[in-house]
Chains A and B, each alone.
Chain A
């Protein structure tokens, strides 16, 4: 029987994508927007493990690519790698420690950096410009923005388990 949280993690994707594509564009700072889907992916990867994180990243990426019309496969690879990276922090003993606000934000920062770097690579951006500037603008800035939103979210994270 499929576990309940497997279904919930997929269902939660849709309202989050709705917010990501309707409200989040209003929060854009110079075209840099936070990635709410990645925050959910990191949360599930930490709580459920590395394999679960990779598979969930793959599914989220597929749904994102197919619904938003972006290059099919680009978000799949990016989110799979991000889920895999977040899964490193899914140790049974330290799980609760990693879900504390600033630790969680740091993991989101790392995973978002992986996700944005892969996305930047697939966007065939002009490499005549400084490669460090490309990483700064296309990978680091979105990662910091996403991590800040994660930090704010985790402040309100309930101490009691919801799902």
Chain B
């Protein structure tokens, strides 16, 4: 028996090692969401990100001049918008107080810089230099001046990993700003697509797409992109709509983390409602 194992090892040791390694990988694949793995992950990327951030800072100095110029221009444009919005704001406040509506527009913004990117075709992630110490929590939306970039996936003390919109594991409920019709949007490896869109929807090329209030992650509208192409699926009653994102994921460097996570109170109400049915 021992001789058999010895000769099998001698003849097939490469394959035996390969099979053992593949089985171990498959076991770990099924343990992705376990607490232990998440803990190891946050320590590992937190340590690595602290080194990467030094490297990125040196690299980013050359881009600061250009960025400053762009920011000055954006500032001027914002100032013009602001004066107009201030007027609307005053009217809005009056109307809200008349209707006794709650204010839901003041959310804290946590500034951060990207220290590293993993831009694979299907699993885009970024590491940013803000973590638990800055108040970042898992599930918080990551935005830039152009709109939604992704969602925080894991945090360490001073760093966080976010899944970008070009990650197949991130799905967001969005709506058309013009028609107010909702759909689920995901990354298919090449494009952001709104899936299972009924053919009766009145979407047109160029329509602005924003996050929907019914989203379980982002409960108010954030710009996402514009409709680029409306698929023409011959069979069935659903279409696929390609969305061109506002953000260029390769070029983005600075961002904000929106200090909100989905309310547990809402979760509990919905859960109790479903249980009663």
Q: Is B256 an interface residue (CB 8 A)?
A: no
Quick one: which of B29, B51, B166 contacts A18, CB cutoff 8 A? B51
Q: In the complex the two chains form, is B41's CB within 8 Å of A72's CB?
A: yes
- B28, closest chain A residue (CB): A73
Complex Cα–Cα for A138 and B189 (A):
8
The CA of A81 and the CA of B17, in the complex, are separated in Å by 11
Give bound CA distance, A123 to B17, whole Å. 25
Partner of B21, one of A23, A58, A119: A58
Quick check: A66 and B17 within 8 Å, CB to CB? no
> Are A69 and B22 also in contact (CB < 8 A) when A87-B14, A124-B168, A138-B122 are?
no
Enumerate chain B residues within 8 angstroms of A51, measured Cβ to Cβ.
13-14, 17
Q: Are A54 and B21 within 8 A (Cβ)?
A: yes
Does A106 sit at the interface, judged by CB under 8 A? no
Q: Which residues of B contact A80 (CB under 8 A)?
A: 18, 21-22, 25
A72 to chain B minimum Cβ distance, whole angstroms, is 5
Interface residues on B, range: 35 or more
Among the stretches A2-10, A26-34, A97-105, the one at the interface with B is: A26-34
Q: Which residue of B17, B29, B48, B189 contacts A72 across the interface (Cβ within 8 Å)?
A: B29
Contact A120 B161 (CB under 8 A): no
Contacts of B41 in A (CB 8 A): 66, 69, 72
Please tell me which one of the listed residues B29, B189, B250 contacts residue A74 in the complex, with CB atoms under 8 A apart: B29
**Residue from the list A21, A26, A50, A87 in contact with B118, Cβ < 8 A:** A21
Is A71 among interface residues, defined by CB-CB distance under 8 A?
yes
Interface residue? B116 (CB, 8 A): yes
Smallest beta-carbon distance B67→chain A, Å: 15
Does A125 sit at the interface, judged by CB under 8 A? Answer: yes
Residues of chain B whose beta carbon lies under 8 Å from any beta carbon of chain A: 13-14, 17-18, 21-22, 24-26, 28-32, 37, 40-41, 44-45, 48, 51-52, 55-56, 59, 115-123, 125, 127, 153-154, 161, 163, 166, 168-169, 188-190, 193, 250
Q: Give me 26 A-to-B residue pairs in the complex whose CB atoms sit less than 8 angstroms apart, sorted by A's number.
A: A14-B51, A21-B127, A22-B52, A22-B115, A22-B116, A22-B117, A28-B250, A32-B121, A33-B119, A33-B120, A54-B17, A55-B17, A58-B21, A67-B44, A69-B118, A70-B118, A71-B169, A72-B37, A74-B123, A76-B24, A77-B26, A80-B22, A80-B25, A120-B122, A134-B189, A137-B189
